[in-house]
Amino acid sequence: MSSYIIEGGNKLEGEVNISGSKNASLPIIAASILNSNITRLYNVPNIHDTQITLEILKILGCKVTKKSDKIIIDSRKMDKTEIPEELMRQMRSSVVLAGAIVGRFKNTKISYPGGCDIGSRPIDLHLTGFRRLGIEVEEESGYIKCKCEKIIGNTIQLDFPSVGATENIMLASVLAEGETIITNAAMEPEIVDLQNMLNKMGAKIKGAGTNIVQITGVKNLKEVSYTIMPDRIEAGTFLCAGAITGGKIKLNNVNPSHLTPILHKLEECGCKIETQKCFIKLEAPKKLKAVDIKTMPYPGFPTDMQSIFVAVLAVSKGTSIIVENIFENRYKYTNELKRMGAKITVEGKTAVIKGIRRFSGANVNSTDLRGGAALVIAGLAAKGKTTVNNIEYILRGYEKLDKKLSLLGAKITLA
């Protein structure tokens, strides 16, 4: 297990380029299975989660060529439909591969994705959706087998606007007979990105970005080249790094409209924000102010930014109240922030944060991807040295985090 060692107290200043979106890359890489052809993807982040997804594709028989952020996937000779358990367990979101595999081969077997550090994360909505499409789903001894003669479009009402279930059902119904309509669909920008990629490949989908997505089945798909959208959570993380250090930074390769709730909260904290089509500038105040936050499905405040904002609010003036509405166990990292001096009380969904003057550097452990990023952000503003351990969690979703922060003037090294 590796660690980041951070010497806190440097204002971040300068410009940073935001990478392609992790959460858009995963379903889009899965989509490359559907066309039985060549898919060229640009702006793919080189992170653990994309590496695992590509590893699975190779095992399934796809040819994968990688050159920096460009990936070519040739799925013509793909001949396997079973995802090995050890890879499935490494990454819960590999469950979206099931929709693409069953969509093309009418057959797949995956192992049940294990629980995870931020909550139980069931996949019942994915499986109910598959069943509505005429797919037989059998669950036994930790495995899920999906098979059918053909996939037939249907209406699917999601009990909750799940991002993964919306994507999985879209993938499974692209080559279906007839029309599928997903209501109460998730509206995240990553779903719009998936729709755009699939349509460029020859699919007929409309409505992504609203709560009704309509997929008209097609018989054939074609070769495609596509550029992945920027990562809005990486962008939010850098903005928080700028804010907490009293810095002045500019993010390039971002889509500010995807960050509206994050930008508004940063403004409420006292930051000056300027946006143009593909950049965001942030100038932090001398002292940040407390704000209240409730996480919600998009376009609400993203749960993935909750922990990172809590790090910022822990050293802001006043008391902040956070309500986590998406995942039931997403406050584990607060125990680590407390080791750095934070005053946080958690009860159920709610965290109450009393702002302190400054963090003190400490030896802390990442508990999950975004919780780990929160510890790094706290370390940047702490007095003295912070060692963040178990950074494998962080490497799942951030590309060159230490290098990018160093470019902005942070003192952070990988050990």
Question: Alpha-carbon distance 292 to 290, whole Å?
Answer: 7
Choosing from 116, 240, 271, 278, the catalytic residue is 116
Nearest to 107, CA basis, from 164, 67, 60: 60
Q: Using CA atoms, how far apart are residues 157 and 307, in angstroms rounded to an integer?
A: 31
Instruction: From 280, 312, 309, 284, select the one nearest 370 (Cα to Cα).
Output: 309
Nearer to ligand UD1, 263 or 362 (CB): 263
Q: Using the rule CB under 6 A, which residue among 71, 133, 156, 165 binds ligand UD1?
A: 165
Q: Per rule CB under 6 A, is residue 232 in the interface with ligand UD1?
A: no
* Among 15, 124, 274, 392, interactor with ligand UD1 by CB under 6 A: 124
Q: The tokens of 375 are what?
A: 């510890």
Q: Which is nearer to ligand UD1, 26 or 44 (CB)?
A: 26
Interface pick for ligand UD1 out of 104, 109, 126, 232 (rule CB under 6 A)? 126
Residues between 166 and 205 that touch ligand UD1 (CB under 6 A): 186, 190
Say if residues 304 and 346 touch (Cβ distance below 8 Å). no
What distances in angstroms separate CA 412 from CA 178, 244, 285, 415, one per listed residue? 54, 15, 23, 10
The answer to whether the CB of 87 falls within 8 A of the CB of 93 is: no
Stretch that binds ligand UD1, among 33-41, 115-123, 171-179, 201-209 (CB under 6 A): 115-123
Under the binding rule (CB under 6 A), the answer on residue 327 touching ligand UD1 is yes
How many Cα atoms occupy the beta-carbon half-sphere of 313 within 13 Å? 26
Residue selected from 6, 12, 18, 26 as contacting ligand UD1 according to rule CB under 6 A: 26
Asked if 306 and 324 count as a contact pair (C-beta separation under 8 A), the reply is yes
DSSP string, 256-271: GGGGHHHHHHHHHTT-
- When binding is defined by CB under 6 A, the residue of 304, 324, 336, 402 that contacts ligand UD1 is 304
Residue 337, both tokens: 């922030």
Q: Are 87 and 52 in contact (CB under 8 A)?
A: yes
Using the rule CB under 6 A, which residue among 163, 235, 271, 280 binds ligand UD1?
Answer: 163
Beta-bridge partner residues of 15? 250
- Interface with ligand UD1: number of residues (CB under 6 A): 21
The residue (of 302 and 355) whose beta carbon lies closer to ligand UD1 is 302
Site membership for ligand UD1, residue 160 (CB under 6 A)? yes
Choose, by CB under 6 A, the member of 114, 115, 122, 142 that binds ligand UD1. Answer: 122
306 binds ligand UD1 per the rule CB under 6 A? no
Q: In what order do the strands lie in the sheet with 13-17?
A: 13-17, 248-252, 279-283, 272-276
Letters for 71-100 (x = contact with ligand UD1 by CB under 6 A, - = none) are ----------------------x-------
- Note if 269 is an active site residue: no
Catalytic residue ranges:
116
Residues found near ligand UD1 in the complex (CB under 6 A): 23, 26, 93, 119, 121-126, 160, 162-165, 186, 190, 303-304, 326-327
